Amino acid sequence: MDSLHFKQQGLINPKLTSICDICLQRGEDAEQFANNTVQTFATTLLYSFVGKDGDDKQDPSFFVKKKQSRKFYEGFLQDYDGNSLAQQQLDRKEFNQAIIKSETGVVDFVPNPGLDFNTNLQKLGLQVDFQLNEVDYIDRERIRAKYKYRCQYCGRSGRSVDHKDPVSLSHNNDFDNLILSCSECNRIKSNMPFKLFTELNDQIPEINKQLVKYENTLRSLQEEFEQRRRKIAATMHLKGVVQDPELNAMRKQNKKLQDAIDSLQSDYDSLRKVRENHFVNGWKVAELEKEEDII
């Protein structure tokens, strides 16, 4: 579980509790439980520790008896902790209360990792609107025409209408908050702040130029491959045969072209992965720099 579940504000420094916020909300007393790990952190960071001294192995009982179920709840908690859209619409105490009802059997359902996050929420009686993008078809086409179907981040062809300020954070569907991107940039950007994404993107102009060249070359080669494939099919139809020297020569040439396309595609995919890692790592560094302490 994330450290935030054990961390509370103190008079001077934060204090750490031996049990999580869900157990506290359930009415359990932190002073009655030992937790060596949390206590060690508290001592190291000069935080107050609320809990019982001693070996936490002497407290073997769990409220949720099955280890597998505990993992299911932990995964569900991580989904909520990492979803800003859910946190905006669903207060943590309300979320915790739904988990308590599940753990106590008031609600006959345990979060299932085989289901998506929204389905698990609904089965626990919680509602979150994950469809905040209300840009209509006409406005989408206006954006595509405005930017001539070119991604404004990398320069490749694109049709994805992207929100500069993520709609999950701003709920802003105004025209000036919309820009055109390719599906890949849209996916990578996700909920990343527009300013950070553009700053990271400005650091790799040559990579973006290479991606455009790869895309254009691959499109040209693939079109040529399809033309050759259609010519082979037409020749087979006119001759009424499947095998003959002319057809075999045409197939051999097309096989070489396909090999060239596959090799180029592999290089293209490798460069795309390098670029994606650049954004992922840059976002992680930016988030870490915001943290004031290590727990």
Distance CA 206, CA 18 (A): 51
Task: Please name the residues in contact with 79: beta carbons below 8 A apart, sequence gap of 6 or more.
Answer: 86, 117, 120
Nearest residue to 186 (alpha-carbon basis) of 194, 117, 219: 194
- Assess whether pLDDT exceeds 80 at residue 84: no
pLDDT-wise least confident of 134-143, 180-189, 209-218, 246-255: 134-143
pLDDT of the residue at 13? 75
Query: What dihedral angle (degrees, nearest 10) is formed by the CA atoms of 102, 118, 188, 183?
Result: 160
pLDDT of the residue at 17? 94
Torsional class of 34: left (φ above 0), alpha (ψ -120 to 50), beta (otherwise): beta
- Assess whether pLDDT exceeds 80 at residue 1: no
Q: With pLDDT > 70 as the criterion, what percentage of the chain qualifies? A: 93
What digits encode the pLDDT tens for the residues 196-243? 999 999 999 999 999 999 999 999 999 999 999 899 899 888 888 888
Task: Please name the residues in contact with 73: beta carbons below 8 A apart, sequence gap of 6 or more.
Answer: 64, 99, 102, 103, 110, 111
| Section 105-110 average pLDDT | 93
3-state SS assignment for residue 244: coil
| Section 14-30 average pLDDT | 92
- Assess whether pLDDT exceeds 80 at residue 244: yes
Please state the domain extents for the chain.
3-58, 67-123, 137-191, 205-290
Mean pLDDT of the residues in the chain: 88
Residue 243 dihedral angles phi and psi, to the nearest 5°: -120, 125
- Assess whether pLDDT exceeds 90 at residue 181: yes
